[in-house]
Structure 1
Amino acid sequence: MSDDFHRPTLTFPGGVYNASQVRLYGIPGSRGLVFPGSSKAVGTKNTSISSNISTADPKKDAEVNAKLKKMVEELRGKGKDKLSDEEVFKKLITIPPFPMPIGMSYQIALDTRKFGKIALSTLITLDEAMAEGKLLSCGIIVSYSYEGHCYDLPKPKIMLIPAFPEEIPLDDCGYDKKNNQDTSVEDRYMLWIVDKLDECIEFETNQGFVEQIVLDANLPGKRSPTMYASRMMMGHRGGRLGDS
């Protein structure tokens, strides 16, 4: 999606214009609400990694689980106005104090070929979200928009983001056109709306031989030319960043 072809469809969750808004586009993977006594799993047909929460009492877990699921279904509603798991979680935040543990989990499975599968998982409980005033999710980010322009990333980034993803509005950098009725929930492109001053975490992933990852990247004489160039530029002023 080039900068010339599409523009972002600006939306503002707070109802007011935010000049420092950044919109991230990508795939959040498997996700859902986590109840006591239940687990949210990610994996393949042969493997599974789960996120769990508990009251620390198995008998109480089952009781709370039943109550929570009934309450969630009532909040969710039906038909066109049916709420997503993210919307239900946000609605629960507005009903303090909430006496029962519930969480929201996001999980991405990574195929490393010879090493097998790796899973990145986030889990935030309702108590944590209320205390911190922040949400948490993860995603494979491929593009972003800022100040009315869309930009592609050079390569996908795996990120932890202090927001939940949401459906992409029509003609928002063109990524709404990547989803159709046959797109699975795990493979749907979604949108994260954040502020440029929000904190996030990016995971840099490189796969290769030890010689490439460790030796060629770090041994003297094998470092990239740009590393030596920066040393030479600073050398004439004793390592200072400025001339003063």
Structure 2
Amino acid sequence: MSDENSNDQLPMIQPDPYYDPAEIILVGMNISGIKSSSAADVKIDTGGNDFSRISIQLVFAPNRQIALIKSYIYEGNHYELAKPKLMVVSGEGEDLPGNYVPKDRPMKFWRMNKLTRTTEISVEDGLLETLILEANLPGRRSPNSYAANMQMAHRSGRLNS
């Protein structure tokens, strides 16, 4: 966002003529279209002054884009995401009214149904200590990653007769 609008609220997005309780409005920027309307590049810091990139391309996904979603509007309330998400969205998106143009990429919004299937693309960058060791400490792992042991018992102590 530009400096003069950094503390402003989002501009008013005109609602559709009817109320749809299943509608979610995703607010962000389209990062597709650098080389193709279905491809996006993510810059990766490889240490020092070196940079690399990951290229993400949607295949057989008509009318889909890759967007960096920063917030969403649901049932009239605006929610900021703690960390922006790379997501696959439907359509080109509509331009957000006002002067919200970070790094020459206009902010857009997408009206979608909350039951629409989509994909979140997760890219983490950091030290191995953080990404592997700290993420795997007990209490931070998903419950299905803990070992599950089961023992069978029988009255006589034997399973065969």
Fold match, TM over 0.5?
yes
| Higher normalized strand content (fraction of residues) | 2
Query: What is the 5 A alignment of 1:89-168?
Result: 105-114=37-46, 116-122=52-58, 129=62, 135-168=63-96
C-alpha distance in 2, partners of 1:7/1:195? 22
Q: Secondary structure at the residue paired with 1:177? A: coil
Q: Secondary structure at the residue paired with 2:68? A: strand
Query: What is the 5 A alignment of 1:2-41?
Result: 5=9, 8-12=12-16, 16-31=18-33
Give how far 1:149 is off.
1.2
Residues 121 and 8 (structure 1), Cα distance of their counterparts in 2 relative to 1, 3 Å cut: farther
C-alpha distance in 2, partners of 1:146/1:119? 31
Residues 123 and 151 (structure 1), Cα distance of their counterparts in 2 relative to 1, 3 Å cut: same
Runs of 4+ in 1 over 3 A off after TM superposition: 4-8, 224-228
C-alpha distance in 2, partners of 1:145/1:8? 11
Gaps of 5+ in 1: 32-40, 43-50, 52-104, 130-134, 171-175, 232-244
Residues 227 and 197 (structure 1), Cα distance of their counterparts in 2 relative to 1, 3 Å cut: closer
C-alpha distance in 1, partners of 2:12/2:21? 14
* Counterpart residue number, 1:45: none
Q: Deviations over 1:185-228 (max 9, x none)?
A: xx11111110111111112222122232122222xxx2346979
Give how far 1:11 is off.
2.8
Asked whether the 8 Å contact 1:109–1:118 carries over to 2, the reply is yes
Q: Secondary structure at the residue paired with 1:215? A: helix
Q: Secondary structure at the residue paired with 2:99? A: helix
Asked whether the 8 Å contact 2:95–2:106 carries over to 1, the reply is no
Asked whether the 8 Å contact 1:30–1:106 carries over to 2, the reply is yes
Deviates most, 18-27 or 106-115: 106-115
* Counterpart residue number, 2:133: 215
Are residues 1:188 and 2:106 paired? yes
Give how far 1:30 is off.
4.1
C-alpha distance in 1, partners of 2:32/2:119? 19
Query: What is the 5 A alignment of 1:168-187?
Result: 168=96, 170=97, 176-179=98-101, 184=104, 187=105
Asked whether the 8 Å contact 2:32–2:67 carries over to 1, the reply is no
Asked whether the 8 Å contact 1:26–1:142 carries over to 2, the reply is yes
RMSD: 3.2
C-alpha distance in 1, partners of 2:12/2:69? 16
Asked whether the 8 Å contact 2:90–2:112 carries over to 1, the reply is yes
| Higher normalized helix content (fraction of residues) | 1
C-alpha distance in 2, partners of 1:19/1:117? 39
Q: Deviations over 1:107-126 (max 9, x none)?
A: 322111115011223355xx
Residues 28 and 188 (structure 1), Cα distance of their counterparts in 2 relative to 1, 3 Å cut: same
Q: Deviations over 1:80-136 (max 9, x none)?
A: xxxxxxxxxxxxxxxxxxxxxxxxx23322111115011223355xxx75xxxxx31
